[in-house]
Structure 1
Amino acid sequence: MNGRNEGGRNSGRGNNEGRGRQGGGGQGSGRRDAAGRERNRGGTRHYSQSAPSQRSRTADPARLAAFEVLRAVERDDAYANLVLPASIRKHRLDKRDAGFATELAYGALRGLGTYDAILARCVDRPLDQLDPAILDALRLGAHQLLAMRVPAHAALDQTVSLARAVIGAGPGSLINAVLRKVTAHDLSGWTAELTAGETDPVRAAALEHSHPEWIVRALRQSLAAHGRSVDELEDLLAADNAAPVVNLVALPGLGTLDEAVEAGAEPGDLVEGSALYAGGDVGRLASVRAGTTRVQDAGSQLVARALAAAAPAAPGERWLDLCAGPGGKAALLAALAAKQGATLLANEVAVHRAELVRKALAPVPADVWEIRTGDGREVGDQYAGQFDRIMVDAPCTGLGALRRRPESRWRRKPSDVAQLGPLQRELLEAAVAAAKPGGLIAYVTCSPHPAETTAVVADLLRRHPGLKLLDTSAVLDGVSLPGHLEAGQPGGDTVGRDGGTTAQLWPHRHGTDAMFMALLRRSN
């Protein structure tokens, strides 16, 4: 939902928001009205709602929910997708206001880089000298003014009211003055001003599409590494900034999408048993609360199904999810395992995340799965040669999920790529050791960065001549609905041998997170 059209509704909760206030109407011919104001000699005068005596000191609940998300992200390093639903429930927002709060919070976080560059032109001091709460309020105001269907007067007045309610009366004048300067241009006008004279196309794209420069360069490199044209970069960055539709999956044999469809969900067009939901808080669906229907990106659904379908399953197979937290892929894998007569061991190193995995797996019969809490790098020694199928959904930078985790683009650093590389390789080594001869290994990352994808696979193949890279693209196409995916590109001679391919999904092409997958078979 792009936002509320505030022009014709009282979003100020009794504050005459969205309407001008007339002074003097029906007050006779005197020079002053009933409030003591002198009348405008030229006719009826419209008094500004932003006058201090007229401003509300009550925060609009939807805007307050969005503000709480930004504060939690900045102050506590919280994840927006975890904070927002709780805030929506706390303020008892209806579907419409929940959609507004979601767009406002996520949009402000996605656009933070561009909005901060604009605000820096409108504030008389460095932004890091502002109180962080004031800066977050300004970001929310900027997003309403530049990217939502909110009239300027409503954006200004309601942002000032929010600040007065939760910060105090002091910053109201500053916020009002700064946001009035923001209204000098629309978003395209500000973009043109920010990029005027910029000779580095990467820096210009970073300003226009609100990404750190290093990520823009990394995504450009990723497109080339996976056989796509770098001319797609603008489309990829734009897709990162588009609000994603909620993807649902019904656990095979356990859940249905009937309730979601009744609530307005539409069948997904990439993978069976999925749906696209735009009906607000999915927690209102009983099947989601029960865990038989789950929120899961279509790309994640596809890689789980691809591992399960890469070869015929024999009864009694043992499967392993090596990095199972928080449990989304594990739940789908367990449901698929139950249908094929297999069992699943879900491993998670962090105790609190292991508990999330346990909750995710709860709808699946208990005899199908078990949980191990421990370092995945030790699994190869403890379970040498015991598993038929292994999912290695390795820790990564998450550059492929920036649209769903808008705050992550501002937290990640270039050094994270190098720091995660050894862990990714060590987890794969453990998987190779834990796989049976003939067993399958799926290496998956939610990042397209070649240092986390093709380079890792190439290193693994060099170290293990007995591993074979399968035609991963063909397997992904086989588990997708016909005619919609056409996954990936050949990985190239440095990655594949004997016709093996890796597969890379893209937000701008497939409408999924930028999920990478390589399917490998251990031959000895």
Structure 2
Amino acid sequence: MSADRRPGRDRAPQGRSDRNRGKPQNTAKFRQKEVDPARVAARDVLRAVRERDAYANLVLPKMLRERGITGRDAAFATELAYGASRAQGLLDAVISSAAGRPVPEIDGTLLDVLRLGTYQLLRTRVSPHAAVSTSVDLVRAENGMGPAGFVNAVLRKVSQKTEEMWVDELAPSPAEDLVGYLAFQYAHPRWIAEVFRDALGGSAGQLQALLAADDERPPVHLVARPGMMTAEELALTSGGEVGRFSPYCVYLAGGDPSDVDAIREGYAGVQDEGSQLIARAVTVADVGEDSGRWLDMCAGPGGKAALIGSLADIDGAHLDAIEVSEHRAELIRKAVRDLPVTIHVADARSSGLAPGFDRILLDAPCSGLGSLRRRPESRWRRSPRDVDELVVLQKELLSEALRLVKPGGVVVYSTCSPHPAETTAVVADVLAEVEGARQLDARPLVTVGELEGELLGDGPHVQLWPHIHGTDAMFLAALTRD
């Protein structure tokens, strides 16, 4: 990626002066001044991910606020933390080769810094000298001279080759194993690349485009709450651009979304455009006479419930929202305040709610393979076993949704995953088991803005893609029963 390297800075460590050079570094206070706060924050995020299975996108914003890191420093810390998390598999292969030992044999505190340094060397415009020296400073400040020397030697060896050269040396041969080569090049586990290939119908060109899009930091999508403000108003006040597809979407050019006044005041939120389209789809489906009973079966953390609730408020309808986790139910309460939404803390498979809903959204728990770019470390945590366990739950939930919907009503089944086992296979299996159930053409439910025709495929379901639509890889199917 050297031809289009990610932004960075030729930053030397802060707090040095000529009079301090050559003096022993005896105190922790002095050593702390030697390191760059942005890089320290990025390192601490990687440590939290490694040690506590934390989520980078949850840990970093809080850390930046607590430490008063803003502006370019915050952007730099974000790029390092998310980028190194996303590219971990590729980085680890390079580190292992340069160190001459398997990554599991490297001390974790050193590995975090090696990942940051290697990421800077291969995927940013930070100068090699700055990338190496600041990494050494991070280790020396905490671990001493010996470990710092090890990190220095490994990173200097990494710096001798570009990313393309390392890929050519370490990846499988593209002539013999194209999927393996692309998976390595774009930092994905091989099994996920195979899933994407199958979902894309075996097209190598489409697979490469998808993996490349998935390997980039995603844009921030905002949602204007209907009845509170329009997308045009949100774009004007946030400095963003009105979205291509969802009538409520705004693309935020940069900056922290929490700085947008409309978000702080509850008139807007952060939500991928694909998720907006799915929430809207359940509200525009033809259900005959609509009694105003709507249901969101797996509503946490509340983004789709807030959008559906806003539209229910306009239409005079009421939304029931089910969430099994009390913590996530509390997030829904905050998202839907002052909207006609009733929250039920229950298992959606046995909620106790009476059948007869006009519209049901089942945004089912899934592997999340369609939103890997927004959860940078998640691709390295998933395994095929996760999918096997989820498919059983998805089928049970969809069967219950068809029991709860009124005859002629609509169930919108969605996943943030393109995995055929979680999408088309789940729908096919449930249709075969539930008497009177049938699938509808979902494409008219998302034909809005520029999203129409060939962009929606052959149907009857809809599969969105990062490399085609600029959204997460959301799946949508519409079902009804007689």
TM-score, normalised on structure 1?
Answer: 0.84
Provide Cα deviations, 1:18-43, integer angstroms capped at 9, x if missing partner.
xxx9xxxxxxxxxxxx9999xxxxxx
Please say if 1:469 is aligned against 2:453: no
Q: Structure 1 residue 313: deviation in Å?
A: 7.7
Q: Bigger shift: 144-153 or 287-296?
A: 287-296
In the TM superposition, what whole-angstrom CA distance separates every residue of 1:276-306 from its partner, at most 9, and x where no partner exists? 1133221122321233211100000001111
Q: 2:392 aligns with which of 422, 429, 433?
A: 422
1:104 match: 80
1:193 is matched by which residue type in structure 2? E
Q: CA separation of 1:222/1:385 partners in 2, compared to 1, >3 Å: closer, same or farther?
A: same
**2:173 and 2:181 in contact (8 A); partners too:** no
What are the superposed Cα offsets for residues 413-466 of structure 1, whole Å, 9 maximum, x if unpaired?
A: 111111111100000111111111221100000011110000111112112342
Which range moved further: 203-212 or 347-356? 203-212
2:71 to 95, 99, 115: 95
State the partner residue of 1:211.
188
AA paired with 2:393?
Answer: L
Matched, 1:489 2:463: no
Matched, 1:285 2:279: no
> In the comparison of the two structures, how many residue pairs are matched?
470
**1: distance between equivalents of 2:20 and 2:48?**
42
| Mapped contact 2:248–2:276 kept (Cα < 8 A) | no
Counterpart for residue 409 of structure 1: 379
CA–CA distance in 2 between the matches of 1:352 and 1:326?
Answer: 9
Contact 1:245–1:276, Cα closer than 8 Å, also in 2: yes
Change (3 A) 1:459 1:349: same
SS of the residue corresponding to residue 385 of structure 2 reads helix
Distance 2:20 2:251 in 1: 54
The answer as to 2:112 corresponding to 1:136 is yes
Whether the aligned pair in 2 keeps the contact of 1:443 and 1:519 (CA below 8 Å) is yes
Kept after mapping to 2: 8 A contact 1:390/1:442? yes
Contact 2:359–2:411 under 8 Å retained in 1: yes
Secondary structure, in 3 states, of the residue corresponding to 1:444?
A: strand
Residue of structure 1 in register with 2:61 after alignment: 85
C-alpha separation in 2, matches of 1:13 and 1:156: 15
Specify which of 317, 342, 352 is matched with residue 370 of structure 1: 342
Secondary structure in 2 matching 1:171 = helix
Letter in 1 for 2:440: L
Instruction: Give CA deviations for 1:79-101 in whole Å, capped at 9, x if unaligned.
Output: 11111111121222222222211
For residues 20 and 227 of structure 2, the distance between their equivalents in structure 1, rounded to whole angstroms, comes to: 69
Corresponding residue of 1:441: 411
User: Deviation above 6 Å: which 4+ runs of structure 1?
Assistant: 34-37
What is the aligned partner in structure 1 of residue 95 from structure 2? 119
Secondary structure of 1:294's match?
A: strand
CA contact (8 A) 1:98 1:280 kept: no
- How does 1:172-183 map onto structure 2 within 5 Å? 172-183=148-159
Deviation at 1:13, TM superposition (A): 2.6
Task: Name the CA shift for 1:15/1:473 in 2 (closer, same or farther; >3 Å).
Answer: farther
The question of 1:522 aligning with 2:481 is answered yes
1:253-275 Cα shifts (integer Å, max 9, x gaps) = 12455465344212212211211
Cα distance, 1:134 vs. partner? Answer: 0.9
Structural mapping, 1:57-96, within 5 Å: 58-96=34-72
In the aligned structure 1, how far is the partner of 2:63 from the partner of 2:235? 23
TM-score (norm 2): 0.92
Distance 2:33 2:144 in 1: 9
Determine helix, strand or coil for the equivalent of 1:242: coil
Q: Displacement, 1:390?
A: 0.6
Corresponding position of 2:461 = 502
- Which one-letter code corresponds to 2:458 in the other structure? P
Aligned equivalent of 1:496:
none
Q: Aligned partners of 1:423 and 1:160: how far apart in 2?
A: 48
Three-state SS of the structure 1 residue aligned to 2:200 is helix
Q: Which has the larger radius of gyration?
A: 1
Q: Which amino acid in 2 is paired with 1:152?
A: P
Read off the aligned partner of 2:250 and give its amino acid letter: A
What is the CA deviation profile of residues 126-176 of structure 1, one whole-angstrom value per residue up to 9, with x for unaligned ones?
Answer: 211111121111001011111011011111111122223345554211111
Change (3 A) 1:213 1:205: same
1:252 aligns with 2:226: yes
1:324–1:348 Cα contact (<8 Å) kept: yes
Q: Which letter maps to 1:213?
A: R
How far apart are the structure 2 equivalents of 1:229 and 1:313? 40
The amino acid of 2:89's aligned partner reads: G
For residues 433 and 36 of structure 1, the distance between their equivalents in structure 2, rounded to whole angstroms, comes to 74
**Partner amino acid for 1:357?**
I
1:261 matched to 2:231? no
Structure 2: which amino acid aligns with 1:401?
A: S
CA distance in structure 1 between the aligned counterparts of 2:209 and 2:416, rounded to whole angstroms = 18
Check whether the contact 2:7–2:125 (CA below 8 A) recurs between aligned residues. yes
Counterpart residue number, 2:274 = 299
2:423 maps to 1:453: yes
Partner of 2:294: 319
Preserved contact between residue 345 and residue 371 of structure 1 (Cα < 8 Å): yes
Q: Which has the higher helix share?
A: 2
Bigger drift between 449-458 and 166-175 goes to 166-175
Going from structure 1 to structure 2, the CA distance change for 1:389 and 1:168 (only over 3 Å counts) comes to farther
Cα distance, 1:215 vs structure 2: 0.7
Q: Could you say which residue in structure 2 is the equivalent of 1:333? A: 308
Q: 1:442·1:518 contact (CA, 8 Å) conserved in 2?
A: yes
Give aligned-pair identity as a percent: 48
Structure 2 distance, partners of 1:216, 1:143, is: 22
Quote how far apart the aligned CAs of 1:15 are. Answer: 3.7
Shift of 1:510: 0.5
Give me the whole-angstrom Cα distance separating, in 1, the residues matched to 2:453 and 2:67.
40
* SS of equivalent to 1:67: helix
Once residues 114 and 21 of structure 2 are traced to their aligned partners in structure 1, the CA distance between those partners, rounded to angstroms, is 34
> Which residue of structure 2 aligns with residue 42 of structure 1?
none
Partner Cα separation in structure 2 for residue 376 and residue 3 of structure 1: 43
> Aligned equivalents of 2:303 and 2:145: distance in 1?
45
Shift of 1:315: 6.2
Correspondence list, 1:34-45, <5 A: none
